[in-house]
Amino acid sequence: MADHREVSAAELHLLGTNSASLIGGASQLLVLLNGSPLKQIPLDGSSPTIDRTIGIPPGDLRDGTNQLTLSVTQKAAQGCEAFDDPALWTRISPKSQLSMSYRRDSVPLTLASLKSSFMSWQPDTSHIFVLYDPALARAPEPIMAIARSVARADAMRAVSFVARPLDRVGKAVAQTSAATVIILKLENGAAAGSGLDAATLSIARNPVGGVVMTIAAETPRALTGAARLIGRPGTVWPNEQSAVIRIPAATGHTQSPHAPAASPTDISFRATGLPTQTEHGRSSQFAPVTFWNPNWDSHAILYLHMAYSAGGGAGSMIQALVNGKMVNTIPLTNPDGGTYPDYKLLVPQDALKVGRNRLVLKPVFHMQHAAASACVANDFGHNLAVTVFSDSHLTIIGGAPVDKDDLAAMTTGVYPLRTIAIASPSPAAISAAATLGAKLAQVTPDQPLNLVLEPHPAAKPGVLVVGAVSRLPEQLLSASGISLVGGSPAVKEPSGQTPHVPDAADLDDVTAWLGRIFGNRAESAPTGKTGHGQAADATVQGFGNAAIMAVADAPAVPDAPGRLAPAIVLTAKSDAGLAQAMGKLVHTATWRQISGQAIVVAPAKSELQVLPAENVPIGPSARLGFLATRNPLTTVLAVLGTLVILILLVRTFVTLRRRRLHPSVKGVDER
């Protein structure tokens, strides 16, 4: 759905066919919009043609991405047709269509329309400028909060995120940019004298039609809290262009909407709002149960009260999936059906995440091998069923409670920690890293964000700390499957095998790939060499003399257990060069190639030094040196000095050659 436009009417026209063998009244097509039932269409064998028009309430359509789901439930006649016979399938014609009518006028620009006006609608990329008060240069937390809010507000779209000071150039950007502009201001009395727990938020359009949103507060902490509210689901904004908003907590932190105030260790299905459920058919799925795990290194026991019907054959079972991974199965062994009043099922430690988890139960039935005349078993819609009762519950056992600061970091979408990236005091570096994080989240929407955006106390201008994340304890590394082996991160191998250690070929692969993107000479690095020598002379032409390099010792690639991924480092001499190089990577990269790699972004005003981090020591391969951008004046002086030396050598050579070819004796006339 396009932003800045309001739908006045919408309808779905469905065309298709269904089997003549279906029994009317029991077979149906359920249409769901964004997970909520929209319309139930009966399927009758006597009328196999589907031609229905369904009205969609405009208020049910969301800004941005919407999801339309068609769910078919079939009950076949008591014949001997196989249930998986294509003749029983329901077909939806590709000529089906969704039509919408828009209002001519754009949506009035108020805080209440903030969601639809926050992002400038473009097919592939949203461009956002953050102009920050120069006083925030040493306090990047508000900019980090804006970046995270943007990533959550529009996770399905790429975001080009650029931050710069609110100076003369910045003010010109606010007036001339057609993209979204967010201004962060520190002002005394910004919250109308309401104290340090409030901020003033206003929204307007600039002369070229771009959206300009201003957040003003008295302290960076209040600015951070207000920035977090932008991406918080369920936030209610007034229908005005300017208003004073209250920060929920004096610390500026907002409670995750998914985390209860006191997370229980025993979660009842009834407490999650799940009623008694019955599922029919050979393969179906119960509604998911979402629960919150407040501890590190914990496991869980699932206590199920359930019953299943007769008719299932050998191999029938219920699959239990936690966070998309099958953790256990429950056999349905009695062909006459049965009841489990208190079935205990283990959810292992490696299946649970800290924070929100998702449990799905999926029945899978196999038919009994009866005589050919016994066709009743084919009626999967009636004979085979599983019922799970709402008094089922799950108990979380063991583990250590999560620190509040860690919990605040995790609720922003950076858990579990698989990729460790960066630390720099520069807001521009953090903003550029947030751009990449939003893109990675788009590539793998079912996985947490693979980027940690944290300033590190050891980071100083010109110094890059690799593998450093502040305030995150070693338990976080353990929970992510990373252990410290020989002073270097390595992946835990369940089979006891030695983990793969990055070698020169790994670095060459990444530097060559980056070289193809940026058009430098890194791709010419021969296999078997480190690639550092070749990459050390490479620069990104036309992008502020930014440079790239591959570094080993990063966490594991999710799709290749036991293999350590290189990290990609972007450096630049200026914020502008960094932003341009970042944009080049964002618009050119194939994201599945780097979705498991660490991305480190930092500005380099001088040669970078590598410092070891507290929790993640740097291995030997990472100490081979970073590629740092060179000072242009130094390069010019070096070239001039070389030319002077060459000229002196040539003059000396010519003089000596003349004397050897034309010798003369002092005082003797050669004539």
pLDDT, tens digit, 9 for 90 and up, residues 426-441:
455 445 455 444 444 4
Q: What local confidence, expressed as pLDDT, does residue 669 receive?
A: 53
Q: Which has more pLDDT, 328 or 565?
A: 328
What does the pLDDT look like over 441-468, one tens digit per residue? 444 443 333 333 333 333 333 333 333 2
Q: Which domains does the chain have, with CATH numbers?
A: 7-102 (2.60.120.260), 111-246 (3.30.379), 266-401 (2.60.120.260), 413-632 (no CATH)
Quote the pTM value: 0.34
d(CA 406, CA 118): 28
Q: What local confidence, expressed as pLDDT, does residue 286 receive?
A: 74
d(CA 621, CA 523): 19
Q: What local confidence, expressed as pLDDT, does residue 425 receive?
A: 39
What is the enclosing helix (H) or strand (E) of 477? Answer: helix 474-479
Average pLDDT over residues 399-410: 45
Confidence band of 301 (pLDDT split at 50, 70, 90): confident
What does the pLDDT look like over 254-298, one tens digit per residue? 333 333 333 457 777 876 666 666 665 555 667 778 877 777 667
Q: What local confidence, expressed as pLDDT, does residue 355 receive?
A: 67
Q: What local confidence, expressed as pLDDT, does residue 13 receive?
A: 92
Confidence band of 634 (pLDDT split at 50, 70, 90): low
Q: Which long-range contacts (CB under 8 A, 24 or more apart) does 247-255 make?
A: 247/197, 247/198, 247/199, 247/222, 249/197, 249/225, 250/196, 250/197, 251/221, 251/225, 252/141, 252/221, 252/222, 252/224, 252/225, 252/228, 253/225, 253/228, 253/408, 254/225, 254/228, 254/229
Q: What local confidence, expressed as pLDDT, does residue 162 receive?
A: 63
**Mean of the per-residue pLDDT values for the chain?**
59
Q: What local confidence, expressed as pLDDT, does residue 364 receive?
A: 76
Positive or negative, the Cα torsion across 239, 244, 247, 252?
Answer: positive
182 has pLDDT over 70: yes
CB 416: neighbour CB atoms within 10 A?
17
Q: At 608, which amino acid appears?
A: L
Task: Determine the 3-state secondary structure of 155 from DSSP.
Answer: coil
| Residue whose tokens read 């620009």 | 109
245 has pLDDT over 60: yes
Q: What local confidence, expressed as pLDDT, does residue 566 receive?
A: 36
Q: What local confidence, expressed as pLDDT, does residue 451 receive?
A: 36
Q: What stretches of 185-335 show up as alpha helix (H) in DSSP? A: 220-230
What does the pLDDT look like over 101-153, one tens digit per residue? 876 555 567 777 665 445 433 333 456 777 888 877 666 677 767 766 665 55
Q: Which has more pLDDT, 553 or 575?
A: 575
Best-predicted range by mean pLDDT (187-201, 424-438, 580-594): 187-201
What does the pLDDT look like over 605-614, one tens digit per residue? 323 333 222 2
